[in-house]
């Protein structure tokens, strides 16, 4: 059976898995597919949160982030116990699921505007719909990512009591604009990475003599995308840090994403933009594995429910829209 592309919103920026369905019988509906993707993303994001916490501390480059991975982990556990490794997880889950939902809704809205009388889109209009859905949904939900980053950074003196307190603190002390620092770079960079990896990986996949198993293929592709996108992600994490709290701010002075990148390179070298990449790479395999099995598990449940209800719903044809979810 040919593979179909299932794409998951998450810390690795649109993880794509070429799945080969376990069952040939009843299919799942579009809404069931969205629920399965959402559940898989929530489970994988929650279970691999400790990797993201350590990665974020390393990326920002504050005093605490300059320590070794082992020292960061030891200090986190000593200060707050296991709870320290899951800070901001609820906000992260909310961000990823909201982004995926908005992505889909924006795509449908743009599709309705650009579609022909018979409801079809030209290739150019598909590109426009994809770009609009990714960029708009990313910008709208971006403040959640900023709050998550700040909650992770605040692990020593506990300046925030929670996500709401972090939000109000940022607005009162820095203004609404603080929540959107780096939003444009994140949205555009995210879209470009999806398009670049699709153009690079599709020909590579067709040229392979032996196509690797879906999970291995997804790990390789995600690691390649993460390597290219990581410097952008590092700069974004730097500008998300609170400018009014010195202990949580990077060790370089800057005003915006461009100065953050140039100041870091000038002081520490270009490789500093990949700081924390090791822990990020270690997250790929468990994240992809959990996402894959969680999705297939949910799909199996829905398939069995559909079979029991004798609902002869046609198998979902995975169109371009599935690639942006």
Q: Where residue 10 falls among pLDDT bands split at 50, 70, 90?
A: low
Identify the pLDDT of residue 99: 86
Q: What angle do CA 319, 229, 271 make, to 5 degrees?
A: 165
pTM greater than 0.85 (yes/no):
no
Best CA proximity match to 44, nearest among 215, 162, 205? 215
Contact 17, 41 (CB under 8 A): no
Summarize pLDDT for 155-182 with one digit per residue, the tens: 766 788 889 999 999 999 889 999 999 9
Residue 107 has pLDDT above 70, yes or no: yes
Distances in whole angstroms, Cα of residue 131 to Cα of each of 267, 268, 321:
35, 34, 11
Average pLDDT score over residue span 65-90: 86
Element (H, E) at 15: strand 15-19
Q: How confident is the model at residue 9 (pLDDT cuts 50, 70, 90)?
A: low
Q: Quick one: average pLDDT of 268-273?
A: 91
CB atoms within 10 A of CB 31: 10
Confidence band, pLDDT 50/70/90 cuts, at residue 25:
very low
Identify the pLDDT of residue 63: 67
Spell out the domains of the chain, with CATH numbers in brackets. Answer: 4-236+249-324 (1.50.40.10)
- Percent of the chain exceeding pLDDT 70 equals 84
Quickly list DSSP for 212-240.
PPHHHHHHHHHHHHHHHHHHHHHHHHHHH
Q: Which H helix or E strand runs over 184?
A: helix 183-207
What is the average pLDDT across 50-55? Answer: 93
The overall average pLDDT reported for the chain is 80
**pLDDT of 80 over the 90 cut:** no
Burial status of residue 188 (CB atoms within 10 A of its CB: 0-12, 13-18, 19 or more): middle
Q: How confident is the model at residue 18 (pLDDT cuts 50, 70, 90)?
A: very low
Short-list 139, 142, 148, 107, CA closest to 126: 107
In the prediction, which pLDDT does 317 show? 42
**Strongest mean pLDDT among 32-36, 62-66, 193-197, 276-280:** 276-280
> Residue 306 above 60 pLDDT?
yes
250 band by pLDDT with thresholds 50, 70 and 90: confident
Q: What is the rounded average pLDDT of the residues 82-88?
A: 89
CA-based torsion, 149, 291, 199, 55: positive or negative: positive
pLDDT greater than 90 at residue 97: no
C-alpha of 68 from chain center: 25
User: What confidence score (pLDDT) does residue 11 get?
Assistant: 56
Vertex 37: Cα angle to 33 and 40 (nearest 5): 140
**224: exposed, middle or buried (C-beta count within 10 Å: 0-12, 13-18, 19+)?**
middle
In whole angstroms, give the CA distance from residue 35 to residue 6. 12
């Amino acid at each position: 059976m040919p593979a179909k592309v299932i794409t998951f919103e998450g810390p690795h920026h649109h993880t794509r898995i070429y799945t080969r369905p376990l069952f040939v019988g009843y299919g799942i509906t579009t809404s069931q597919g969205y629920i399965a993707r959402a559940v898989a993303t929530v489970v994988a994001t929650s279970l691999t949160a400790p990797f993201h916490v350590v990665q974020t501390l390393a990326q920002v480059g504050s005093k605490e982030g300059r320590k070794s991975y082992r020292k960061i982990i030891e200090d986190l556990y000593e200060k707050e116990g296991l709870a320290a490794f899951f800070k901001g997880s609820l906000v992260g889950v909310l961000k990823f699921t909201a982004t995926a939902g908005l992505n889909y809704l924006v795509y449908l809205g743009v599709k309705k505007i650009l579609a022909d009388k018979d409801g079809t889109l030209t290739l150019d209009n598909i590109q426009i719909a994809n770009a609009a859905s990714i960029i708009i949904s990313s910008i709208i939900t971006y403040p959640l990512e900023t709050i998550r980053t700040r909650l992770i950074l605040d692990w020593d003196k506990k300046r925030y009591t929670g996500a709401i307190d972090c939000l109000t603190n940022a607005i009162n002390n820095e203004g609404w604009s603080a929540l959107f620092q780096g939003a444009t770079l994140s949205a555009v960079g995210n879209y470009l990475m999806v398009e670049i990896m699709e153009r690079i990986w599709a020909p590579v996949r067709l040229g392979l003599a032996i196509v690797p198993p879906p999970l291995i293929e997804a790990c390789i592709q995600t690691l390649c995308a993460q390597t290219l996108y990581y410097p952008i992600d590092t700069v974004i994490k730097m500008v998300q840090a609170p400018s009014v709290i010195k202990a949580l701010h990077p060790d370089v002075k800057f005003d915006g994403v461009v100065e953050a990148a140039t100041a870091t390179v000038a002081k520490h070298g270009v490789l500093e933009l990949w700081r924390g990449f090791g822990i990020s790479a270690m997250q790929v395999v468990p994240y992809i594995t959990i996402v894959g099995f969680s999705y297939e598990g949910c799909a199996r449940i829905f398939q069995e429910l559909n079979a029991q209800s004798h609902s002869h719903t046609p198998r979902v044809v995975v169109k371009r829209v599935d690639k942006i979810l």
